[in-house]
A and B are shown apart, each in its own frame.
Chain A
Amino acid sequence: AQTVTQSQPEMSVQEAETVTLSCTYDTSESDYYLFWYKQPPSRQMILVIRQEAYKQQNATENRFSVNFQKAAKSFSLKISDSQLGDAAMYFCAYRSNNQGGKLIFGQGTELSVKP
């Protein structure tokens, strides 16, 4: 069975600084997708970034980028120029390409941003 692990329950960053959130996963499959979702206090889950396992190039979305290390089964999220609005719970998630829409989530990392 696939598992996703986020080893940092809480992280803190100064406004305008850079922070990296860690995520590791375990799978025997080769075809899958990885995601980072953000959940602010409103509880609305928002997709931050997505990575297809077959792509070697790391995904980037504006201030958000990932470091995808397939052999190490590592998928970290880097947030550059942190803003107060980035404060939220961040979830790493895995989706197999042969299990439909089923997402397997990590336990989450609570990110706080200090002004």
Chain B
Amino acid sequence: KAGVTQTPRYLIKTRGQQVTLSCSPISGHRSVSWYQQTPGQGLQFLFEYFSETQRNKGNFPGRFSGRQFSNSRSEMNVSTLELGDSALYLCASSRTSGGAYEQYFGPGTRLTVT
């Protein structure tokens, strides 16, 4: 069974630009969560999508948005990039939202904003 995949793996953008990251969950998984990992703030929850609906949202500005498609693939978008958005972005998929189900993480997308 294929694991969670994230594309692209590495990305370099300029301040002010926007970026879209993609996450393909494990087959049969309907929940996708996104996290930002930085040396200063650690791992922070961005949002979760389940069955194409945003289930939960973390404390991030409106520049961060996401969506989920009918095949459960998810994208997150960051507009008007700032230097502080440089981070490793991880997504995790689960069969359903919450409960006893385990979450499986992808390899991450390393975003560098210059």
The interface of chain A, by Cβ under 8 A from chain B, is 33, 37, 42-47, 50, 52, 91, 95-108
Contact = CB atoms under 8 A, between A and B. Distances in A.
Contacts of A37: 105
A52 B102 CA distance: 12
- Could you tell me the dominant secondary structure of chain B's interface residues? strand
Given A100-B48, A101-B33, A103-B45, A43 B102 contact: no
Given A43-B108, A91-B43, A108-B42, A100 B102 contact: no
Contacts of B55: 100-101
Interface of B: 31, 33, 35, 42-45, 48, 50, 55-56, 58, 88, 90, 92, 94, 97-100, 102-105, 107-108
B16 to A, nearest CB: 27
Contacts of A101: 31, 33, 48, 50, 55-56, 92, 94, 97-98, 103
B50 A100 contact: yes
Given A97-B98, A100-B31, A105 B105 contact: no
Given A91-B43, A100-B98, A102-B48, A42 B107 contact: yes
A46 B104 CA distance: 7
Contacts of B35: 103, 105
A97 B100 CA distance: 9
Contacts of A98: 98
A37 B92 CA distance: 13
A44 B58 CA distance: 22
A9 B31 CA distance: 31
B30 to A, nearest CB: 10
